[in-house]
């Protein structure tokens, strides 16, 4: 995988257009509740500023209707927070596609919500060319949108003088490549979540690459059904049992031998540890048991590379959090290269406070999963195609 990097370029005096991921969560009053993505975008912005570039930054925020700007779609709260973090004024520019705004070397402006521009999501060619005309260098630094071919994430890259990856994208791609293309063995993947259907293609792809595939959550229940085990009234997808069997025919899939059950899905419900063979018809499996957690920790301890996507239980409820907690601790203690990604996974990492003990944490959701599937990502394709020119 070969692409230009922003940090390898001379940007002095150049107009630099950075596509960042500033899609931050907000409360009902539009106040930002988590500025992690803004902070993640700062290294690329600061590199360009410190090297005397004229910097333009844009991002999508929420799901606006194209061509219909509404106040709640505005990046204004992001501009305010970015100003505070950078220690300098970040002006918000409306109606920016046709230019008409000024930004000098050493200055940065934030261009209003990219998805308010008609043609953004469909990667309109005329729109892409107009955007490219605004800059000398286009920087793709939003890995979370790398799987979407939109005007700011792909189209502009065809026409900008130089197309390169920002620090966020470069580090994501290097970590993912290290984990999947050149892994230290054994390679262990842990895939949790509620449904097989949402991650079936990931499971099938990983079954051909990994040495062991650990499944958790509702996904594990479907695999347990495939081995003839009873799961009571637990969440599962019986119609995908054959696909689960197909995956197990390709790779070792260690399944829980004991589980934590309850009679209802509630934080107040009494939790009972049971052998998988003792699950009753009215039981809900909400976590793996201590024996299964210990076995999982032993697998991780022997791994050379661990890829983690999804919890193994309902960790948001204390009674059913131990399995994911033990998993997180095993990853924290591992000498392997560890890579974790996906919203629920990042939440678990934060809850169990192992942020500084994971080799690489990807904040991307869809792009992370599509990379695990082996799919080509449009933003990566355009960066690679523009490497030589």
Residue 248: its pLDDT value, please?
97
**CA distance linking residue 40 with residue 363, whole number of Å:** 10
Q: Return the higher-pLDDT residue of 60 and 67.
A: 60
Catalytic-labelled residue, pool 178, 195, 230, 375: 195
**Quick count: other Cβ atoms within 10 Å of Cβ 162?**
18
**CA distance linking residue 337 with residue 304, whole number of Å:** 6
Q: What domains, with CATH codes, occur in the chain?
A: 6-166+377-385 (3.40.50.1260), 185-335 (3.40.50.1260)
Residue 2 pLDDT grade (very low, low, confident, very high; cuts 50, 70, 90): very high
Q: Which of 118, 88, 125, 85 has the alpha carbon at shortest distance from 103?
A: 88
Active-site annotation holds for 366: yes
Handedness of CA 226, 311, 31, 146 (dihedral sign): negative
Q: Which residues contact 233 (CB under 8 A, 6 or more apart)?
A: 281, 282, 283, 284
**Quick count: other Cβ atoms within 10 Å of Cβ 276?**
20
Q: Phi-psi category of 188—alpha, beta or left, where left has phi over 0 and alpha has psi -120 to 50?
A: beta
Catalytic-labelled residue, pool 37, 115, 130, 148: 37
For tokens 């892994």, the residue is 183
**CA distance linking residue 226 with residue 246, whole number of Å:** 10
Catalytic-labelled residue, pool 161, 343, 353, 376: 343
Q: What is the DSSP string of 311-378?
A: -SS-TTSGGG-HHHHHHHHHHHH--SEEEEESHHHHHHHHHTT-GGGSSEEE--SHHHHHHHHTPPPH
Q: Return the higher-pLDDT residue of 343 and 137.
A: 137
Active-site annotation holds for 294: no
Q: Which of 254, 256, 203, 209 has the alpha carbon at shortest distance from 234?
A: 256
Strand-pair partners of 344: none
Residue 1: its pLDDT value, please?
74
Residue 309 pLDDT grade (very low, low, confident, very high; cuts 50, 70, 90): very high
Chain segment 205-254, per-residue pLDDT in tens:
999 999 999 999 999 999 999 999 999 999 999 999 999 999 999 999 99
Mean pLDDT (the chain) is 95
Q: State the average pLDDT over residues 67-86.
A: 96
Active-site annotation holds for 100: no
Residue 373: its pLDDT value, please?
86
Q: State the average pLDDT over residues 70-89.
A: 97
Q: State the average pLDDT over residues 130-158.
A: 97
For 295, phi and psi rounded to 5 degrees?
-65, -40
Q: Which residues contact 155 (CB under 8 A, 6 or more apart)?
A: 123, 124, 125, 127, 128, 131, 149
**CA distance linking residue 363 with residue 102, whole number of Å:** 33
Q: Which pairing describes strands 272-275 and 284-288: parallel, antiparallel, or unpaired?
A: unpaired
**CA distance linking residue 117 with residue 58, whole number of Å:** 12
**CA distance linking residue 248 with residue 347, whole number of Å:** 29
Residue 238: its pLDDT value, please?
95
For tokens 């490497």, the residue is 387
Is the per-residue pLDDT at 102 higher than 90?
yes
Catalytic-labelled residue, pool 106, 359, 365, 366: 366
Q: Return the higher-pLDDT residue of 286 and 366.
A: 286
First CA to last CA across the chain, in angstroms? 16
Residue 27 pLDDT grade (very low, low, confident, very high; cuts 50, 70, 90): very high
Residue 164: its pLDDT value, please?
98
Q: What is the DSSP string of 143-156?
A: GGGTTS--IIIIIH
Q: Is 124 exposed, middle or buried (0-12, 13-18, 19+ CB in 10 A)?
A: middle
Is the per-residue pLDDT at 318 higher than 80?
yes
Residue 308 pLDDT grade (very low, low, confident, very high; cuts 50, 70, 90): very high
Active-site annotation holds for 313: no
What are the angstrom distances between the C-alpha of 287 and each of 7, 22, 188? 44, 34, 20
Query: What percent of the chain has a predicted confidence (pLDDT) above 70?
Result: 100
What is the SS3 assignment for 251? coil
**CA distance linking residue 15 with residue 156, whole number of Å:** 14
Residue 322 pLDDT grade (very low, low, confident, very high; cuts 50, 70, 90): very high
H helices of the chain, in order, are 36-50, 76-86, 125-132, 156-159, 167-180, 200-206, 217-226, 241-250, 290-301, 322-333, 343-351, 366-373, 378-385
């Amino acid at each position: 995988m070969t692409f230009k990097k922003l940090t390898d370029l001379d940007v002095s005096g150049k107009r630099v257009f950075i596509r960042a991921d500033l899609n931050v969560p907000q409360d009902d009053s539009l106040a930002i509740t988590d500025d992690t993505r803004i902070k993640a975008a700062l290294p690329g912005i600061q590199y360009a500023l410190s090297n005397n570039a004229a910097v333009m930054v844009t991002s999508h925020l929420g799901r606006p209707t194209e061509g219909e700007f509404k106040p709640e779609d505005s990046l204004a709260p992001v501009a305010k927070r970015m100003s505070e973090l950078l220690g300098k004024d970040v002006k918000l520019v409306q109606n920016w596609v046709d230019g008409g705004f000024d930004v000098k070397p050493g200055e940065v402006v934030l261009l209003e919500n990219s998805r308010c521009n008609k043609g953004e999501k469909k990667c309109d060619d005329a729109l892409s060319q107009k955007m490219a005309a605004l800059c000398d260098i286009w920087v793709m630094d939003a890995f979370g949108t790398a799987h979407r071919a939109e005007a700011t994430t792909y189209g502009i890259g065809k026409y900008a003088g130089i197309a390169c990856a920002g620090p966020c994208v470069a580090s994501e791609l290097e970590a993912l490549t290290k984990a999947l293309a050149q892994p230290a063995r054994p390679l262990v993947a842990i895939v949790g979540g509620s449904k097989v259907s949402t991650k079936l293609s990931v499971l099938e792809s990983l079954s051909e690459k990994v040495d062991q595939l650990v499944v958790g959550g509702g996904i594990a229940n479907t695999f347990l059904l495939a081995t003839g085990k009873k799961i009571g009234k637990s969440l599962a997808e019986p119609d995908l049992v054959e696909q689960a069997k197909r995956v197990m025919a390709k790779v070792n899939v260690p399944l829980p031998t004991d589980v934590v059950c309850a009679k209802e899905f509630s934080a107040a419900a009494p939790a009972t540890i049971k052998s998988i063979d003792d699950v009753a018809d009215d039981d809900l499996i909400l976590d793996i048991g201590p024996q299964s957690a210990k076995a999982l920790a032993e697998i991780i301890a022997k791994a050379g590379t661990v890829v983690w996507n999804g919890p193994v239980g309902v960790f948001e409820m204390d009674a059913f959090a131990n399995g994911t907690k033990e998993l997180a601790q095993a990853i924290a203690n591992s000498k392997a290269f560890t890579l974790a990604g996906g919203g629920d996974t990042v939440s678990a990492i934060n809850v169990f406070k192992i942020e500084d003990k994971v080799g690489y944490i990807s904040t991307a959701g869809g792009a992370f999963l599509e990379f695990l599937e082996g799919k080509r990502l449009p933003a990566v394709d355009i960066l690679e195609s523009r490497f030589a020119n």
